[in-house]
Amino acid sequence: MEKVTPMMAQYKSLKEVAKSALLLFRMGDFYETFYEDAKTLAEHCEVTLTKRGGVPMSGVPWHTIEGYIDRLIAKGVSVAIADQVEDAKEAKGLVKRAIVRTITPGTTTSSQLLSAKENHYIISLARVGAIFGLAVCDVSTGEFKVIEFDDQEKLLTELLRLQPKEIVTYPQFREKNRTIFEKVKNASLTLNENYSFEHKAAYKSCQAHLQVNHLDGLGLKGMVAAINAAGGLISYLKEELHLPLKHVRTIFPYTTHEQLQLDNTTREHLELTESYGKTRKNSLLSIIDKTNTPMGARRLTQWLKKPLLSVEAITERQDGVEMLALLPMVNAKLATSLNQVKDCERLMMKVSAGWATAVDLVAIRQSLQELPKIKAILRPLTSTIFSAIDQELVDLTEVCDSLSQALVDEPPQKLSEGGLFRKGYNEKLDELSKCLETSKDFLAKYQAELREELGIKTLKVSYNKIFGYYLEVSKKQSPLLADRFEKKQTLVNTERFTSPKLKEYELEVLTAQERKEGLEKSLFAELIELVNRHFDPIAQVTCALASLDAISSLARVGRENQWCRPKVDNSSLLEITEGRHPVVESCLAHDSFIPNETRLDGDHERLMLLTGPNMAGKSTYIRQVALITILAQMGSLVPATKAHIGVVDQIFTRIGASDDLSRGQSTFMVEMAETASILRNATSRSLVILDEIGRGTSTYDGLSIAWSVAEYLLLTPSKMAKTLFATHYFELTELEKMHEGVVNASAQVEDAGESITFLYTIQKGCANKSYGIHAAKLAQMPHEVITRAEAILSELQKKNANQKFIPKVTKAKEKQLLLFE
């Protein structure tokens, strides 16, 4: 049987606490792992796997630990850190160790995996009856909020918008709601005990953490499911992961009713935050993000994902963006100051948790030093939003001055290295530093004195960690010291001695070093406490700077690209003059993008049927209308010369599709599922973008479905959304003659017989022919294939010359198309 040493017994007890997390156990200068954890570490981090006493083990140096943690987290492995929690000098027997932190995919706080421009969310889920509770936390910033849903589809939409790194729930929830976890990809799932999500326990967890008697004052009255999710998450973070959460000061209830709804399909189709390649490049966010701070970048991303519905709120933001766009020199000054502001949200988390370094405090100081400059820049700006931001930028001179007086401009990363405080900050510290600085002079002087006194020119006064200070001479010369000095060590060719004077000096120096280190720790703790006392006002300032940075970015982008301020109101009008696609335009040479007009009034012009050949710009056109609407409702300027946007409540898109083989769904089934969702959820205030509905099945099936979908959106009460419908089914253009509200438009081409030129303009009227074979030529299809296709097309056109697909007009019914109910 394996012999269990006291050290291994300690390890095993901590491993029980760590549970499934890989335990990194501090032993001297290494973090060691054992058993299966050792195999996992060796596999994922490419370190050597060895055995001691038959036990597999592997380890990594303590000073490189963060890099190895990142590699493990990237593989989905949670990590628990066991450190010494008492001074080895004072320990009686085995040094005590404890798990000081546990890192999971959703709780990384200082890591290369943590994107500066994105929130890093961990969420928890609970359910009470038909109500779903969702709690959201970004441990790196302290953001904590909750929401409830009475519909699983709406919950799923919010989960996909948040893109959490980790989901925490209880086994019963997982069993009853498996479809949620099948659809939310790239998030690790953690199951915690059922009891921590029970209402009584969850309520107490929230109370205890926030130190309040009731949660009603936070706006959580009656939100049982949300409280259960929040309490379960707090319990997990504090009790399971041992995370300090002092920076999580409150819980905010929020709602999605005040924002333009964008489901995950729409966000993906419009490439809002990432392109089809799953990168930020060529997304709308990459175009509008000219922020100077990480907080501003995160705020801008939130605004893009959650455009506004309130005309008043949109107008207030527009006022600020337009004012800075018209004052480029002012905006440039503002950007210069904001560029000096560091990520104070995440820095304050480190301060609150006790993980901050002197470098972090200097970064906070540098950020706060910009406040007077920023307030001076804002003073002449009369917009309401700037006045509100200015009020939030409270005076933090005390903190700034204290940090300036205390810390050098470039302090060391580690407190133990010393040298982080300015001379003159603390008199006692200066004395101790001077004592240590003069030590070399003393030793040199003492060495010179002894050499002259003893006549030994090779005598050395030296130091090492084991023996301290000593005199060193050769063995031949050692008799000259034997009578007067105490022998300390004998080596092969030399002898080492000490003297009363050297002992006294050693005691003084080592004591001074120890006292200096202790004093520096104490002084640094006082600075941390000072900053912590100002946590709330610093957080308030940080929040205001984030919004200011986002406004500044939108102003700069709007001015540089010659965007206009749209008129936004509660009308049903959507009118765009010379609209452009912001991303496509950025990829083209200057002024080479062809702008286009759009008008939908929600009444006489409610559904635009767009025909024309492939590659003529139809998809770009319908996407740009959606993007301009989103930009307008987030308070931005828009890529057009003029625009009037009546607020829409939701934007839906059905653009292209790919097989979802992982769930056994074909292209056509994906298309039908997405279309069904649109028809279920669209309202008369929505904007619907449809591209090639029905193309994934036979011609007549597809045409029938496309026709019926168009009529459903035209005729069904409460579903009469403004719609852009791009199609190759020319038969659908007959709808303009049959129903009020339909307008035909087409992508124009210049037809020269054997060749065509795409004009990329959209004009009223339907296309007079298809150019599919021309497109095949452009794609360099083999000549014999083109020739045969032309012959077949000619025969088909003769056969169907007198046949038209025009179904009888039927009375619209609430449940017209059973497929989509």
**If we measure between CA atoms, which residue out of 121, 197, 125, 224 comes closest to residue 164?**
121
Across 381-385, average pLDDT: 95
Q: What are the pLDDT digits (tens) for 623-647?
A: 999 999 999 999 999 999 999 999 9
Judged against a pLDDT cut of 70, whether residue 241 lies above it is answered with yes
Residue in the block written with tokens 């020119």: 457
- pLDDT at position 186 is 83
Judged against a pLDDT cut of 80, whether residue 203 lies above it is answered with yes
Q: Which residues pair with 567 in a beta bridge?
A: 644
Q: Tell me the pLDDT band of 813, cut-offs 50, 70 and 90.
A: very low
Backbone phi, psi, residue 185, to 5°: -90, 165
User: With contact defined as beta carbons under 8 Å apart, do 232 and 192 qualify?
Assistant: yes
Return d(Cα 681, Cα 694) in angstroms, integer.
Answer: 19
Residues in the chain, overall count: 821
Across 642-668, average pLDDT: 75
Positive or negative: CA dihedral 56, 62, 63, 69: positive
User: With contact defined as beta carbons under 8 Å apart, do 227 and 202 qualify?
Assistant: yes
- pLDDT at position 218 is 93
DSSP letter for each residue of 185-215: -S-EEEE--GGGGSHHHHHHHHHHHHT-S-S
Does domain 431-525 fall under CATH 1.10.1420.10? My reply is yes
Judged against a pLDDT cut of 70, whether residue 804 lies above it is answered with no
CA dihedral 59, 62, 64, 68 (to 10 degrees): 50
Return d(Cα 309, Cα 281) in angstroms, integer.
Answer: 28
Return d(Cα 133, Cα 148) in angstroms, integer.
Answer: 5
Q: Which two tokens stand for residue 493?
A: 């060719």
Residue in the block written with tokens 């020319």: 730
Beta strands 468-474; 122-128: pairing state: unpaired
Judged against a pLDDT cut of 80, whether residue 798 lies above it is answered with no
- pLDDT at position 659 is 43
Residue in the block written with tokens 């300090």: 244
Q: Tell me the pLDDT band of 621, cut-offs 50, 70 and 90.
A: very high
**If we measure between CA atoms, which residue out of 708, 768, 765, 713 comes closest to residue 737?**
765
Helix (H, G, I), strand (E, B) or coil at 657: coil
User: With contact defined as beta carbons under 8 Å apart, do 735 and 741 qualify?
Assistant: no
Q: Which two tokens stand for residue 216?
A: 């009603």
Return d(Cα 386, Cα 551) in angstroms, integer.
Answer: 10
Per-residue burial over 146-177, b = 16 or more CB atoms within 10 Å of its CB, e = otherwise: bbbbeeeebbbbbbbbbbbbbbbbbeebeeeb
- Across all residues in the chain, what is the average pLDDT? 88
Judged against a pLDDT cut of 50, whether residue 799 lies above it is answered with yes
Residue in the block written with tokens 């041992």: 242
- Residues above pLDDT 90, as percent of the chain: 57
- Residues above pLDDT 70, as percent of the chain: 91
Pick the CATH number of 6-103 from 3.30.750.24, 3.40.1170.10, 3.40.50.450, 3.40.50.360: 3.40.1170.10
Judged against a pLDDT cut of 70, whether residue 165 lies above it is answered with yes
Which helix (DSSP H) or strand (DSSP E) does residue 801 occupy? none
Judged against a pLDDT cut of 80, whether residue 807 lies above it is answered with no
Helix axes 65-74, 35-45, angle to 10 degrees: 90
Report the range of poorest mean pLDDT among 372-381, 690-699, 728-737: 690-699
Q: What are the pLDDT digits (tens) for 18-53?
A: 888 999 999 888 999 999 999 999 999 988 899 888
**If we measure between CA atoms, which residue out of 67, 68, 233 comes closest to residue 143?**
233
**If we measure between CA atoms, which residue out of 148, 139, 353 comes closest to residue 236?**
139
Q: Tell me the pLDDT band of 301, cut-offs 50, 70 and 90.
A: very high
Most confident by average pLDDT, 108-117, 159-168, 767-776 = 159-168
Return d(Cα 739, Cα 715) in angstroms, integer.
Answer: 9
- pLDDT at position 570 is 96
Across 75-89, average pLDDT: 85
Q: Tell me the pLDDT band of 217, cut-offs 50, 70 and 90.
A: very high
Positive or negative: CA dihedral 5, 11, 16, 17: positive
Q: Tell me the pLDDT band of 445, cut-offs 50, 70 and 90.
A: confident
Beta strands 30-34; 22-27: pairing state: antiparallel
Q: Tell me the pLDDT band of 266, cut-offs 50, 70 and 90.
A: very high
Return d(Cα 335, Cα 560) in angstroms, integer.
Answer: 15
Residue in the block written with tokens 């240590």: 436
Judged against a pLDDT cut of 50, whether residue 820 lies above it is answered with no
| Single-letter amino acid code for the residue at 46 | E
Across 119-141, average pLDDT: 95
Which helix (DSSP H) or strand (DSSP E) does residue 412 occupy? none
Q: Tell me the pLDDT band of 280, cut-offs 50, 70 and 90.
A: confident
Angle CA 410–411–416, to nearest 5: 160
- pLDDT at position 771 is 61
Q: Which two tokens stand for residue 12?
A: 């095993």
Judged against a pLDDT cut of 70, whether residue 487 lies above it is answered with yes
Q: Return the higher-pLDDT residue of 255 and 783.
A: 255
Per-residue burial over 757-778, b = 16 or more CB atoms within 10 Å of its CB, e = otherwise: ebebbbeeebbeeebebbbbbe
Indicate the DSSP class of residue 635: T
- pLDDT at position 109 is 80
Q: What are the pLDDT digits (tens) for 336-362?
A: 999 999 999 999 999 998 889 999 999
Distant-in-sequence, close-in-space partners of 151: CB < 8 Å, separation ≥ 6: none
Q: Tell me the pLDDT band of 817, cut-offs 50, 70 and 90.
A: very low
Q: Tell me the pLDDT band of 754, cut-offs 50, 70 and 90.
A: low
Backbone phi, psi, residue 239, to 5°: -90, -35
- pLDDT at position 810 is 54
Q: Tell me the pLDDT band of 779, cut-offs 50, 70 and 90.
A: low
Pick the CATH number of 289-396+535-560 from 1.20.1440.130, 3.40.50.300, 1.10.1420.10, 2.40.10.340: 1.10.1420.10
CATH of region 122-253: 3.30.420.110
Helix (H, G, I), strand (E, B) or coil at 45: helix
Judged against a pLDDT cut of 50, whether residue 619 lies above it is answered with yes
Helix (H, G, I), strand (E, B) or coil at 691: strand
- pLDDT at position 607 is 95
Q: Tell me the pLDDT band of 819, cut-offs 50, 70 and 90.
A: very low
Helix (H, G, I), strand (E, B) or coil at 134: strand
Q: Tell me the pLDDT band of 685, cut-offs 50, 70 and 90.
A: very high
- pLDDT at position 161 is 92
Backbone torsion region of residue 381, taken as left when φ is above 0, otherwise alpha when ψ lies between -120 and 50, otherwise beta? beta
Judged against a pLDDT cut of 60, whether residue 462 lies above it is answered with yes
Across 497-505, average pLDDT: 86
Judged against a pLDDT cut of 50, whether residue 190 lies above it is answered with yes
Report the range of poorest mean pLDDT among 93-97, 188-192, 317-321, 561-565: 93-97
Q: Return the higher-pLDDT residue of 555 and 680.
A: 555
- pLDDT at position 775 is 63
Judged against a pLDDT cut of 90, whether residue 406 lies above it is answered with yes
Return d(Cα 235, Cα 231) in angstroms, integer.
Answer: 6
In this prediction the pTM is: 0.86
- pLDDT at position 53 is 80
Across 486-493, average pLDDT: 87
- pLDDT at position 702 is 81
Q: Tell me the pLDDT band of 698, cut-offs 50, 70 and 90.
A: low
Domain 289-396+535-560 and domain 431-525, same fold? Reply is: yes
- pLDDT at position 412 is 92
Domain boundaries, the chain: 6-103, 122-253, 289-396+535-560, 431-525, 567-820
| Single-letter amino acid code for the residue at 307 | P
Q: How many CB atoms lie within 10 A of CB 74?
A: 14
Across 505-529, average pLDDT: 87
Judged against a pLDDT cut of 70, whether residue 811 lies above it is answered with no
User: With contact defined as beta carbons under 8 Å apart, do 756 and 767 qualify?
Assistant: no
Q: Which two tokens stand for residue 788?
A: 């045969």
Radius of gyration of the chain (CA): 35
Which helix (DSSP H) or strand (DSSP E) does residue 311 occupy? helix 311-326
Q: How many CB atoms lie within 10 A of CB 448?
A: 12
- pLDDT at position 382 is 92
Q: What are the pLDDT digits (tens) for 408-420?
A: 999 998 888 888 9
Burial of 817 (0-12, 13-18, 19+ CB in 10 A): middle
Across 101-116, average pLDDT: 84
Q: Which residues pair with 654 in a beta bridge?
A: 690
Q: Tell me the pLDDT band of 803, cut-offs 50, 70 and 90.
A: low
Backbone phi, psi, residue 340, to 5°: -90, -5
Pick the CATH number of 567-820 from 3.40.50.300, 1.10.520.20, 3.10.150.10, 3.20.20.150: 3.40.50.300
Burial of 700 (0-12, 13-18, 19+ CB in 10 A): exposed
Return d(Cα 554, Cα 697) in angstroms, integer.
Answer: 43
